[in-house]
């Protein structure tokens, strides 16, 4: 049985009966790809599918996927990864008590089973490992920890997992490993890939010499990973020097799609249209990296003659020319702007919108990570935020690159003085909420709180959303724009740096054409959601082809 749940205008969630069926469908979609599918995010009982609407419709996907055989058992990889573990975790005794056994028996069972990487998510390099001892079915902690160290080995439900980096989390921690799960120095940074076999080894049973060698190797890999992410500036004939970075200025392009197998989401510019326009105005390819700054305050000094363009939020631009009297003049957004050697460009606070984009003719000389120059603030991938004194090298201008004409700035940027309306596609877990909550989702305004960032907009409403289904939701793929509802009932609107998978139900998703608008909503603004169609899941049996409309 397959259940097809709408996620967005370019995404759906396929829900199956169990993990085995999920892996079988995943294998089928990889062995016999469907034209138009761009990314697959498998989870415990679901696969999130993102596709290109110009290549196929939702009805086509439902019909084609519904015919796939999910009874076959997915083949296991021949690759076996051995993970040494210090079984000294904070929750080891609690897990033993929950299972009615001794801590020593927990260790014996954990090391006595062979696991398989079922899927990845939550963080880059985080793998959900299935196939452990039958007795292992451990609930998450009732109160998640604010910080779990890198290398922590944990249990949650029937899965084992290893935290690749320090982060909050609710898994029951039974040990820690020195082996790096995520290392950008490797050709494939994620050590554990879907299908790999995994065996845990108790370090206490390994000789002292082997133990020391494993720990040193893990430390060296971790340090190499950090070093590989540092921003290296190589000066050319022209550059921009950071006089003030503002609140946060990052390199962003259109993101690193296609890395779901390593647990990495796309990230990228929050207002992708604004970045594309900025690049077009200075004659760059639309996917070139630019600067994204939130809240204004960025000040850059030109080294050599440069041409830049500023788009996005409505910010005042001041150019201070290099002369004895330091003459200043107000520059315009959405047009090419020539800076002479020594000129400085300063952005003031936004009058409307939140994020501003700056592109430079020729493009910034910045090293891509996993095929993208974007900085993912949740995954800690990509160049670090700019700081005072950074010198940003500029690439030579490509032959034939033409500077664009002035374009009209948008007139409908969000402000704190208005209610911002966002269209929403209901699903995939709309039916987990009461009818009153569904009504409240679109009838009640929600205020953007200061805790919002590139990961998501945290919203606060007068009345929280209540669930009709109290069960714990197995982790499943999440999309940019997803409106996830944690136990507090106050929604979080996922943005570019959202986690690849999540464990709280998603009541709806901001329509793809309003994602840029969502990325420009300032703190303290009010948001209202407008569902554009009813929640209509579709269920098919094995090889069932029923799907009468594109609304399936």
User: What does residue 507 show for φ and ψ, rounded to 5 degrees?
Assistant: -85, -25
By three-state DSSP, how is residue 494 classified?
strand
Query: What's the DSSP call for residue 431?
Result: G
Strand blocks (E) in 21-126:
37-42, 46-51, 80-85, 114-120
**How many angstroms separate the CA atoms of 464 and 426, rounded?**
18
What pLDDT, on the 0 to 100 scale, is given for residue 210? 55
Query: What's the DSSP call for residue 376?
Result: B
CATH 2.40.100.10 fits 80-228, yes or no: yes
What pLDDT, on the 0 to 100 scale, is given for residue 324? 59
Query: Could you tell me if 156 and 138 are in contact, meaning their C-beta atoms sit under 8 angstroms apart?
Result: yes
Query: Could you tell me if 533 and 45 are in contact, meaning their C-beta atoms sit under 8 angstroms apart?
Result: no
Average pLDDT for runs of 10 along the chain of length 552: 96 96 93 95 95 94 95 84 97 97 97 94 91 92 87 95 91 97 92 94 77 50 45 64 97 94 92 98 97 97 97 97 80 96 97 98 95 94 96 91 93 96 98 97 97 96 96 91 95 95 94 98 98 94 42 36
What pLDDT, on the 0 to 100 scale, is given for residue 212? 52
Class of domain 2-76: alpha beta
Query: Could you tell me if 291 and 383 are in contact, meaning their C-beta atoms sit under 8 angstroms apart?
Result: no
What pLDDT, on the 0 to 100 scale, is given for residue 401? 83
**How many angstroms separate the CA atoms of 353 and 271, rounded?**
10
HSE at residue 150, side-chain half, CA atoms within 13 A, is: 19
Q: What ranges do the domains of the chain cover?
A: 2-76, 80-228, 239-393
pTM of the model: 0.88
What pLDDT, on the 0 to 100 scale, is given for residue 142? 78
By three-state DSSP, how is residue 103 classified?
helix
Helix (H) or strand (E) holding 476, with range, is: strand 476-477
Q: Which residue has the tokens 């300032």?
A: 522
Q: Are strands 80-85 and 197-202 parallel, antiparallel or unpaired?
A: parallel
Query: Could you tell me if 117 and 193 are in contact, meaning their C-beta atoms sit under 8 angstroms apart?
Result: yes
Give yes or no for a cis peptide into 428 (omega within 30° of 0): yes
Helix axes 92-99, 103-111, angle to 10 degrees: 90
The angle subtended at Cα 329 by Cα 325 and Cα 330, nearest 5°, is 160
- Structurally, at CATH architecture level, domain 239-393 sits in Sandwich (2.60)
Tokens at 423, concatenated: 């269209």
**How many angstroms separate the CA atoms of 106 and 265, rounded?**
34
């Amino acid at each position: 049985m397959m259940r097809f749940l709408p996620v967005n205008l370019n995404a759906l969630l396929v829900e199956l009966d169990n993990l085995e069926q999920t892996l079988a469908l995943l294998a089928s979609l990889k062995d016999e790809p469907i034209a138009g599918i761009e990314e697959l995010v498998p989870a415990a009982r679901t696969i999130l599918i993102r596709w290109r609407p110009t290549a196929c419709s939702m009805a086509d996907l439902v019909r084609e996927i519904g015919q796939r055989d999910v009874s076959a058992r997915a083949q296991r990889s021949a690759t076996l990864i051995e993970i040494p573990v210090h079984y000294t975790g904070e929750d080891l005794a609690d897990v033993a008590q929950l299972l009615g056994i001794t801590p020593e028996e927990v260790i014996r069972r954990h090391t006595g089973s062979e696991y398989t990487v079922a899927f990845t998510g939550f963080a880059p390099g985080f793998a959900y490992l299935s196939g452990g001892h039958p007795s292992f079915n451990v609930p998450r902690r009732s109160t998640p920890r604010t910080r779990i160290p890198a290398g922590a080995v944990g249990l949650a439900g029937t899965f084992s997992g290893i935290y690749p980096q320090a982060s909050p989390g609710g898994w029951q921690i039974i040990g820690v490993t020195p082996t790096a799960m995520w290392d950008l120095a490797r050709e494939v940074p994620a050590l554990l890939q879907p299908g790999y076999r995994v065996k845990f080894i108790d370090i206490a049973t390994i000789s002292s010499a082997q133990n020391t060698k494993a720990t040193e190797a893990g430390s060296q890999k971790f340090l190499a990973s950090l070093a590989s992410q540092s921003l290296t500036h190589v000066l050319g004939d022209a550059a921009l020097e950071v006089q003030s970075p503002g609140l946060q200025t990052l390199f962003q392009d259109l993101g690193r799609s296609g890395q779901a197998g390593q647990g990495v989401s796309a990230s990228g510019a929050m207002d992708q249209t604004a970045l594309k326009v900025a690049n077009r105005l200075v004659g760059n390819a639309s996917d070139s990296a630019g600067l994204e700054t939130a809240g204004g305050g960025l000040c850059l000094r030109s080294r050599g003659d440069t041409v830049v363009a500023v788009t996005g939020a409505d910010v005042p631009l001041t150019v201070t020319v290099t002369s004895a009297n330091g003459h200043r003049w107000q520059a315009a957004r959405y047009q090419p702007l020539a800076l002479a050697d020594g000129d400085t460009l300063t952005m003031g606070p936004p009058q409307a919108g939140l994020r501003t984009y700056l592109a430079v003719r020729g493009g910034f000389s910045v090293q891509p990570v996993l095929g993208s120059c974007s900085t993912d603030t949740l995954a800690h991938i990509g160049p670090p935020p700019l700081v005072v004194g950074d010198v940003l090298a500029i690439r030579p201008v490509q032959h034939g690159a033409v500077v664009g004409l002035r374009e009209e700035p948008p007139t409908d940027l969000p402000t704190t003085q208005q209610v911002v309306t966002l269209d929403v596609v209901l699903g995939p877990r709309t039916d987990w909420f009461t009818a009153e909550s569904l009504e409240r989702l679109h009838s009640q305004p929600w205020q953007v709180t200061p805790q919002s960032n590139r990961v998501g907009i945290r919203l606060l409403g007068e009345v929280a959303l209540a669930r009709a289904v109290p069960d714990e939701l197995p982790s499943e793929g999440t999309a940019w724009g997803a409106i996830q509802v944690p136990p507090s009932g106050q929604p979080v609107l996922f943005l570019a740096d959202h986690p690849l998978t999540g464990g709280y139900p998603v009541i709806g998703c901001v329509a793809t054409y309003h994602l840029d608008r969502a990325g420009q909503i300032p703190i303290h603004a009010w948001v209202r959601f407008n569902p554009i169609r009813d929640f209509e899941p579709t269920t098919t049996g094995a090889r069932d082809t029923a799907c009468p409309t594109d609304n399936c």
